[in-house]
């Protein structure tokens, strides 16, 4: 599902990307997806740090 949002960007960057026919909506969407994926992975690592340490110590033993 897509959602319309409003963002404020640097004018020079916008003009350059527009001049090169960059799909700005696609670029923003991909960037947001990548950041969401990174944040989920970071949260998972934090939530499972203790369990991963236990697994690592079990493997080392």
- Token pair listed for 10: 């640097």
Domain that holds residue 52: 11-60
Per the domain annotation, does 4 fall within a domain? no
Residue 41 pLDDT: 98
For residue range 2-58, list pLDDT tens digits in order.
Answer: 899 999 999 999 999 999 999 999 999 999 999 999 999 999 999 998 888 888 888
Per the domain annotation, does 33 fall within a domain? yes
Give the number of domains in the chain: 1
- Token pair listed for 44: 């998972």
Residue 42 pLDDT: 97
Give the number of other CB atoms < 10 A from CB of residue 44.
11
Helices (H), 1-61: 11-19, 24-60
Prediction pTM value: 0.75
């Amino acid at each position: 599902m897509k959602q319309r949002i409003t963002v404020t960007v640097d004018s020079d960057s916008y003009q350059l990307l527009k001049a090169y026919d960059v799909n700005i909506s696609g670029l923003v969407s991909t960037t947001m997806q990548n950041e969401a994926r990174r944040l989920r992975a970071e949260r998972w690592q934090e939530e499972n740090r203790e369990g991963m340490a236990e697994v690592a110590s079990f493997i080392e033993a």
